[in-house]
Amino acid sequence: MTLRPAPGDDRDAIRVGMLGYGFMGTAHSNALKTLSYMFPDGPRPDLRAIAGRSEDAVRRAATRFGWEQYTTDWRDIVADPDIQVFDNVGPDAAHFEPTLAAIEAGKHVVCEKPLATTVAEAARLVDAAEAAGVKNLTCFNYRFVPAVRLAHDIIANGDLGEIYSASFRYAQEWRTDPEAELPTWTGALSVIGCHAVDQARYLVGELDSVSAILSNPVTSADRAEPIDTVASIVQFSGGATGDIGASLIAPGRRNRLGWEINGSKGSLVWDLENLNVLKAFTRTGGPLDGFADVIVNESQHPLVGAWWPSGHILGWEHSHVNMLAHFLAAVADGGEVGPEAATFADGLAAAKVAEAITRSSETGERTAVS
């Protein structure tokens, strides 16, 4: 035999444009490139164009990740009729306007969390996307960690019984450093707290009300969102109670989104720093009952099949790969984005919870989630 040219990839392409080239731009670019071959039965993303503020930086990003074109004006991407998906990984303040424009241009839309900086804007995006009939995704990527998905499925199947209580907390530490740069747009609630809120909604269900206290022992109060920590207690619509917290000033907590859920039939515990492991207690009545360290990396587990054999564990970035593979498949075959993934409706719901948390902290009253 001799070397023969490989046949081209004849899968349908989904033409993607992206806004943003920072940390999340790298994570999404990597995800688009990786899912192309790790999900060979799914659609093939075509990295059509990337936009960003610095011309030098966006050009370099385009070359680095193989985006065919670049621009400093996201409107160029929105205006390109060829582009089917608009992936907005820009800064929080740049979530609303470009995403709305992309929807109005008929594009399917991906938006990093938080979906918008106000409930009103989030609601407008939901309405616009529904009116336009476009697929939409809020990047609550932790729904696509296999251990989280397994927990969701167990709870949804009733295998944990009635949910009694649930506790969620996302803790990081970088703001404890007095030298750390404090971006204008950040606070514990919008940067990380919203992930805790989405996990609560995804795993346990809708929230009726919250009581909350926000604090800012490090960040001065004259900032737009001077929130270092979030403490809140919640009433779920389904009857469970619990708490949702966040902190950017928890020394040693590198990136710890964690939760514990107690139901009538068992308990589940998980955290992001050890993301492959679900700690699970279910009662057999035998002498070996105890919390099991389930390494959620077996062929029978959800979201694992595309990857490696038993015990060859996944990392943080795989949640993005799994999430975007799911979304592009929905775009390609007309399937649903939710409830596996968070839609814009979920982004709006998280914004409403955040608003109720903020209001409760100000008033001291238990506050209904509208």
Rounded alpha-carbon distances, angstroms, from residue 176 to 168, 171, 173, 184? 21, 12, 6, 16
In whole angstroms, give the CA distance from residue 57 to residue 52.
8
β-sheet bridge partners, residue 280: 268, 292
Residue span binding its own copies (CB under 8 A) among the ranges 94-102, 103-111, 273-281, 323-331? 273-281
Nearer to its own copies, 80 or 121 (CB): 80
Closest distance of CB 55 from its own copies, Å: 8
**Which among 308, 340, 345 has a CA at the least distance from the CA of 326?**
340
Which of 318, 331, 340, 341 is the binder for its own copies (CB under 8 A)? 318
Here the contacts of 223-226 (C-beta below 8 Å, separation 24 or greater) are: 223/182, 223/184, 223/187, 224/184, 224/185, 224/187, 225/185, 225/186, 225/187, 225/189, 225/190, 226/187
22 sits near its own copies (criterion: CB under 8 A):
no
Expressed in angstroms, the distance from the first to the final Cα of the chain is: 69
Which of 12, 206, 289, 333 is the binder for its own copies (CB under 8 A)? 289
Residues 209-268 that bind its own copies (CB under 8 A): 209, 211-213, 215, 217-218, 228-229, 231-235, 239-243, 245, 247, 249-256, 262-267
Which of 12, 54, 73, 120 is the binder for its own copies (CB under 8 A)? 73
Whether residue 234 contacts residue 148, with contact meaning beta carbons closer than 8 Å, is answered with no
294 sits near its own copies (criterion: CB under 8 A):
yes
- Going residue by residue from 97 to 126, which x/- string records binding to its own copies, judged by CB under 8 A? ------------------------------
Closest distance of CB 174 from its own copies, Å: 7
β-sheet bridge partners, residue 269: 260, 279
Q: Please count the residues of this chain forming the interface with its own copies, following the rule CB under 8 A.
A: 123
Residues 166-185 that bind its own copies (CB under 8 A): 167, 169, 171-174, 176
314 sits near its own copies (criterion: CB under 8 A):
yes
Closest distance of CB 108 from its own copies, Å: 19
β-pairing, 266-271 with 277-282? antiparallel
Which of 301, 303, 327, 331 is the binder for its own copies (CB under 8 A)? 301
Residue span binding its own copies (CB under 8 A) among the ranges 35-43, 115-123, 129-137, 194-202? 35-43
Closest distance of CB 127 from its own copies, Å: 29
Closest distance of CB 229 from its own copies, Å: 5
In whole angstroms, give the CA distance from residue 153 to residue 145.
12
In whole angstroms, give the CA distance from residue 93 to residue 234.
28
CA 349 to chain centroid, in Å, comes to 13
Residue span binding its own copies (CB under 8 A) among the ranges 87-95, 105-113, 116-124, 160-168? 160-168
In whole angstroms, give the CA distance from residue 249 to residue 182.
13
Nearer to its own copies, 78 or 331 (CB): 78
**Which among 338, 340, 347 has a CA at the least distance from the CA of 123?**
347
Which of 15, 295, 338, 359 is the binder for its own copies (CB under 8 A)? 295
Question: What is the amino acid identity at position 73?
Answer: D
69 sits near its own copies (criterion: CB under 8 A):
yes
Nearer to its own copies, 44 or 124 (CB): 44
Closest distance of CB 233 from its own copies, Å: 4
In whole angstroms, give the CA distance from residue 351 to residue 337.
19
Which of 13, 104, 226, 274 is the binder for its own copies (CB under 8 A)? 274
